[in-house]
Structure formats: C-alpha cells, structure tokens
Structure 1
Amino acid sequence: MKSAVETLNPTRVRLTVEVPFEELKDSLDAAYKKINQQVTVKGFRKGKIPARVIDQRFGRGAVLEEAVNDALPKFYTEAVNEAELNVLGQPEVDITELKDGETLNFTAEVDIRPEIEIPDYSGIEVEVDAVEVTDEDVEKSVEQLRERFASTTPVERAAAEGDVLTIDLEAKVEGEVLEDGVAGGVSYTIGSGELLDGIDEAVTGLESGGEATFTSQLKGGSAEGKDAEVTVKVTQVAARELPELDDEFAQLASEFDTLDELKADSRKRLENMKQYDQATQAQERVLEKLLELVEVPVPEKLLEDEVHTRKHNLENHQLAQMGLDLAKYLEIQGKSAEDFEAETREQAVKGIKTQFVLDELVNKEKLNVNQEELTEHLMRRAQSSGMSPDQFAQAVVEGGQVPMLVGEVARGKALAVVVEAATVKDTNGEVVDLSDEEEASEGGETVEADEAKSEA
C-alpha cells in the first residue's frame, strides 16, 4: 500500500491511498463467505456455493463492493498511522479507482488537530478580587442560619409582610375554573416573591377567613401565559419568630458553645469560600490570557458538531428538566435566536481552543495522571451527577469514558502549571499565593467543565 498526505488547511488533510489488488484477498474471501451465508442457489448446499457461481448469479460487482467496504477502514487506519496524523472525527472517503485484479485507489479527507506552538507563559499577569470578609458578611451569614431555625405561631390579626399564610387558591380564565387551577392548604410567606404576581397586595391585611380576588398572568399549567382571575382565601395567619442571637442559639444551630465561636467559624468559612472563588477566578483569567497568546485554528466540522451538541444538551436535557423549550428560555433570557447562536458558537470555539491548548501543554510538560488523581476526580464528578461513586464508575467504564476523564484530569494539571507560573495579584495590589488552592483542585475539573455547569 502507498499513501500520500496533502495539507488542505491547518486543520484538514487529504490522504491519497493506492492499494495493490492482492492486498484485498482476505476481504474478498470474507465477502464470498458472507454472501454464501445470505443466499441460496438450487443444487448447492448453503455456504458451499463456489465463487464463480456467486459471480455469475449475483455479479462480481456485489462481491467487490462488500470486500472494499470491509477493507477500507483497515487501509485508512494504516495510512493515518503511517503519516502519524492526529485525526478528529470521521473521514470523507471517495473511491477514485477500482480495477478488478489490479488496484484500489481512494482519497480520504479528515480533520486533524492543528500544530500548536505554546509560547512562554511565565509573563502572564492577572488581577483577581481580594479576599475580604466584612462584619456585615458575617452578620448576614449568621442571620441566614437564624432564618433556618425560625418558628411560626398562629395569630389572630391582619396578615403583614413576613407572615406565613395557609391559603386556598382558585383560578378562572374567561369565567371558567381551570382543572389545574385549584389548590388548597398552600403555605405562602408574604414578600417571598413566589407564586403569582399581585398575591402579596391581595393577602396583606386579610385575617384568617378573609378572601380577595386579583388578576395575574399564570406562570405555568394548562393556561400558562394567560391572564386569570384568582381568588385567594386565607385559612391561617402565622407569625414567624426568630430565635434570639445568643449562646443558646449557637448551641442549637452548631457544634459551638458560644455565639462568638459561631461567628468566628462563619468568618473562616466565608474566607475559605472567597479564597476558592479567587482561585477559580485566577484560573479563568490566566486561561483567557494564555488563549490570547496562542494561535489556534479550529476545524470547521468539529466546531459545527460541538455547536450542535451544546444546543442538543441544552434543549433536551437542561431545559427539558425545567419544563422549558428553547423559545421560552430565550424569552426569559431576553435574547434573540441570533444572539443565542452567536453565543453558543463563541463558547464552542473557546471550549475547543482550550482543549487543544491544554492537551498540547500536557504533552509539552509531560504530565501524567495517577490512579489517586483519577479516583479523586471520579468522586467529584459522581457527587455533581447525583450518583454514587460505584454507579458513576460503572457508567464511565461501560460507556468507554475513562480516557475522557483522564483527559480532564490532565488538562486540569496543565492549567495549574500555567497558573503557578503566572503572577496573580488582587485588587489591593497584593501578590496572591494560590499554592493551597491549586493543590486542592489539581486533577480537578478544567474551566471548560465549570463553564458547562454555569450554562446548566
């Protein structure tokens, strides 16, 4: 077999392959055997029909077609390996010549990973938010904890903001009560912004047994988007009571004995969260700077496939779980279809470039992934997917996704190498030491994965 490579552009090549006919012998034998098992000829036992009879009855062309279909993948793979190509996706194959007993010639156009030159990235400088936890931040955190331990007590007075009501609802559209427009015993907190627009004004001032009617646009159900006449009846008014902020509350809500200890722990937790956010911000901004330094051509076919995949996942998984279609999602987001298309394409380009650059860094820095790093990453992914580690691991193995996970870990390590070499300062001008955060996230998810979560 002879093969030659023609570069069509930085991300696509054309292979020209010439195969001597004798190299098709195994595939021809397999073709005759396969046809033998599929057809019957009077006077011959099944599977024992001579080749010349098959040629006469069914045509030599049918045999050649079967043999070529069997042989092409093998010859294509040999040509790819011989040229040491890093191919992407499936090739477009065209048989240019097939002469029985002489030769098989074909071409195969396929996308390849572009050659990328990684420049010196040690000079990258980025700015991130400073880690600052104020007294107000701590008070807000403790107040949120306090809210979780609030109790309610029925009261005999008019309902006011913050009260928890038990209500019955009935919705009518064009004078007809909707089948799914009746609900009883619904708990609602005045001012929460839940349920229907206009309900806060309707129930404020009502006592137990009080009733009001208001008009509101329905947010879901069989008449979603239509204006409905809603009757609300209050069956109970309850006041929310917050526990006193003292040592007794600290003992109730935490493992600490005093309120001061609880506040100190809240401050530490907030600092840790902001440090983690700071490290994530540093990764994102360093990656952006790195991508600006590198020229990365993107294969058009790969880009189109990635855009299609992102749209499919959004429409059929993320939005479907929320009970939305794409049109409703775009309406909520205030985006046009053109805006959505442009943003999806931009995100896809960035994702592909990120993978190419980080993969090249993995090779350049000779980074390896050990079993401990892979296991730790698998545990993280299992947790985010809502599956047990064993279930997730089984799904990964059965789906042949282990190489994908290894790639994610390796790219995470590559990005950590660049972040370590970069200069990261906070908004106060102080150099940020990210070594602890990098160790915690090394082998973790790349920025691509974080972006995917944000989109979800």
Structure 2
Amino acid sequence: GVSADETAQGPGVLPEGFGDRGGEEVELLATVKAVRSKNLPEVTDEWVQEVSEFETVDELVSMLRHNMNEMAKATARNDFQDRVMMDLAEDLSLDLPQSLIDTEAEASIHNLAHRLQEQGIGLENYLQITGQSQEDFIADSKTQAIRTLKTRVLLEGVAKVESIEVNDDEVLEAVSALASQAEMNPDELFRQLESDGRLDTLSDDILRRKALEAIMSGVVAIDEDGNTIDLEPAPADSDDDNDFDSDEAKLESDSDKEVEESPEE
C-alpha cells in the first residue's frame, strides 16, 4: 500500500474522448494526500432506535429491503413503458415535416446543452467524452426527435379516442408537486407559469401521461416462462417483497401484444 505523502507511479491509458490523446498509453504519477478509514457503528437495536423511527434491526432491514425492491420495480416499470412506446412509435407510419423534426432536434440539443452547462460541461467536451462526432450527434438527435414526435402524436391520439381530459384540479395538483420539488410557494409558481404561458404545456404533459396510463393498462410484462411480472407499486402500507427480473421482461398486450471518518494511523 501507499501511505500519505507518498507517490505512486505506473502505466495507464487515457480514456477515449480525452481530446486528441484519447486511448494513448501514458505514465501516470499520483501523490497520496491522505489515507482515511470509516469507523462504522455497530448495528444494534439501540443504534437503530437512535437514528431512525424503527425499534429493531429487523424492522430497519425490512424497510430498506422494501424500498430497494420498490426502486428496482420503478426502474423496471419505466424501462418497460419506454419499450412499449418505442415499439408502438416505430410501427406508426407518419410523414413528419423535416422542419418539425429539425425544430424538435434543436430543442433537444438546446436542453441538453443547458443541463450540461449547469454542471460546468461544454457541449464540445461532452462530445469528446462520449466519443461522438458532431455529425453523428446531430443525426442521433434527429432520430430521437422523430421518435419523440411520433410518441406525442400517438399519446394525443389515444387521449382523443378515449375522451381523456385534464381538469383544473389536476393542473393545480401538478403545480403543487412542482412547487414542492422547487421549494416554492405553489401560488407563486402558478402565477409564474401562467405569466410565461406554460400552464398549457403542463396540461398537455398531464394529458399525455394519462394517455400513457391508458395504454399501459392494456399491456402486461411477462417472463420467459409466460408468467406475469408485477410491476405495480406496492400499497403504502404493504411490506410484501416482490421478486422479478426486468431483464427477462418482454411485451404482451391484451390485444395480442450514512458514518464517521477518521485519519488512519
């Protein structure tokens, strides 16, 4: 091992996308500034009572297992929905104007650049890191734009056929949820959205979500043996464990288809 203030040296390879030197073999030199270890507390019922609302270790473990289960299930559910919508969008024959595709792609690139900027990353650096050329990036953005537009048309069509509507209470509920996430006053956020003309956009998002729910109500996930996989969230008071494998999911629709740190001596 290496102690604090000692230097370690050895060969390495720069990652792809590291400017013009990506993939180049180099000699790496590193100085260890400090060595630390974590002093973990003993997990006892007393410790659990001190740091949580639970009384025993078993209760805490049960809660953690349940939460991890639900997180995995939510990930699988979102992946499944994405696959369903991707398949449906690909099957949708739709002649989209090139100007509409370009506008959607430009908006997507602008949004990505804005998110990267918030993290201190430029778009050119992002392309280098991901190993993409500007031409490939733009082409991929247009492909994604087509899929996005098709999905939007599909969801709005389902909403129309199923007579799905959005009422004022649903908009207010969505504004309240957004305000909670942004730690804002709901009334203030409502006025801001109204002033910016974004309430209609929010309403459209709710409409498409409801249409997606309508579609997914007719689709089930099954494993390789044909057994139904439960991807629905557990009731709030349920502690049941749910076993599933998202990698084995395939499509079938009803219609056929925390610790203390201390320096190490």
TM-score between the two structures when normalised by the length of structure 2 = 0.72
Which of 158, 165, 174 aligns to 1:368? It is: 165
**1:242-281 matches, cutoff 5 A:** 242-281=40-79
Judged with a 3 Å threshold, the aligned counterparts in structure 2 of structure 1 residues 319 and 307 are, in CA distance, closer, same or farther, namely same
| Partners of 1:391 and 1:417 in 2: CA distance | 32
Which residue type is aligned with residue 75 of structure 2?
D
| Partners of 1:376 and 1:343 in 2: CA distance | 35
Which of 108, 112, 132 aligns to 1:310? It is: 108
Which residue type is aligned with residue 49 of structure 2?
Q
- Match in the other structure for 2:135: 338
**1:186-201 matches, cutoff 5 A:** none
Q: Does 1:298 align with 2:119?
A: no
Judged with a 3 Å threshold, the aligned counterparts in structure 2 of structure 1 residues 233 and 409 are, in CA distance, closer, same or farther, namely closer
Judged with a 3 Å threshold, the aligned counterparts in structure 2 of structure 1 residues 417 and 239 are, in CA distance, closer, same or farther, namely closer
Q: Is the 8 A contact 2:8 2:30 kept in 1?
A: yes
Bigger RCO of structures 1 and 2 (CA < 8 A, at least 6 apart)? 2
Number of residue pairs matched by the alignment: 223
Q: Is the 8 A contact 2:166 2:203 kept in 1?
A: yes
Which residue type is aligned with residue 378 of structure 1?
V
Which of 287, 302, 327 aligns to 2:85? It is: 287
| Partners of 1:403 and 1:280 in 2: CA distance | 25
Q: Is the 8 A contact 1:420 1:434 kept in 2?
A: no
Q: Is the 8 A contact 1:282 1:419 kept in 2?
A: no
Judged with a 3 Å threshold, the aligned counterparts in structure 2 of structure 1 residues 297 and 378 are, in CA distance, closer, same or farther, namely farther
Judged with a 3 Å threshold, the aligned counterparts in structure 2 of structure 1 residues 270 and 211 are, in CA distance, closer, same or farther, namely closer
Q: In structure 2, the residue corresponding to 1:424 is in which secondary structure?
A: strand
| Partners of 2:116 and 2:109 in 1: CA distance | 10
| Partners of 1:430 and 1:372 in 2: CA distance | 38
Q: In structure 2, the residue corresponding to 1:257 is in which secondary structure?
A: coil
| Partners of 1:274 and 1:239 in 2: CA distance | 30
List runs of 5+ in structure 2 lacking aligned partners: 13-20, 235-265
Question: Cα distance, 1:212 vs. partner?
Answer: 4.8
Question: Cα distance, 1:214 vs. partner?
Answer: 7.3
Q: Percent identity?
A: 30
Whose strand fraction is larger, Structure 1's or Structure 2's? 1
**1:157-196 matches, cutoff 5 A:** none
| Partners of 2:226 and 2:204 in 1: CA distance | 35
**1:169-248 matches, cutoff 5 A:** 204-206=2-4, 210=5, 212=7, 234=33, 238-248=36-46
- Structure with higher Rg: it is 1
| Partners of 1:233 and 1:281 in 2: CA distance | 41
| Partners of 1:231 and 1:360 in 2: CA distance | 59
Which residue type is aligned with residue 134 of structure 2?
A
**1:36-435 matches, cutoff 5 A:** 204-206=2-4, 210=5, 212=7, 234=33, 238-315=36-113, 317-384=114-181, 387-426=184-223, 429-433=226-230
Question: Cα distance, 1:284 vs. partner?
Answer: 1.3
| Partners of 2:30 and 2:86 in 1: CA distance | 54
| Partners of 1:395 and 1:427 in 2: CA distance | 49
| Partners of 2:131 and 2:41 in 1: CA distance | 42
Q: Is the 8 A contact 2:81 2:216 kept in 1?
A: yes
TM-score between the two structures when normalised by the length of structure 1 = 0.43
List runs of 5+ in structure 1 lacking aligned partners: 1-159, 161-203, 217-224, 438-456
Q: In structure 2, the residue corresponding to 1:240 is in which secondary structure?
A: strand
Which residue type is aligned with residue 130 of structure 2?
Q
| Partners of 1:230 and 1:389 in 2: CA distance | 53
Q: In structure 2, the residue corresponding to 1:324 is in which secondary structure?
A: coil
Q: Is the 8 A contact 1:286 1:418 kept in 2?
A: no
Whose helix fraction is larger, Structure 1's or Structure 2's? 2
Question: Cα distance, 1:331 vs. partner?
Answer: 0.9
Further displaced range: 382-391 or 344-353 = 382-391
Judged with a 3 Å threshold, the aligned counterparts in structure 2 of structure 1 residues 358 and 247 are, in CA distance, closer, same or farther, namely same
Q: Is the 8 A contact 1:250 1:259 kept in 2?
A: yes
| Partners of 2:76 and 2:30 in 1: CA distance | 49
Judged with a 3 Å threshold, the aligned counterparts in structure 2 of structure 1 residues 288 and 238 are, in CA distance, closer, same or farther, namely closer
Question: Cα distance, 1:436 vs. partner?
Answer: 5.5
Which residue type is aligned with residue 322 of structure 1?
Q
Residue by residue over 1:7-49, the C-alpha shift from the partner in whole angstroms, topping out at 9 and shown as x without a partner, is xxxxxxxxxxxxxxxxxxxxxxxxxxxxxxxxxxxxxxxxxxx
CA-atom RMSD in angstroms: 3.2
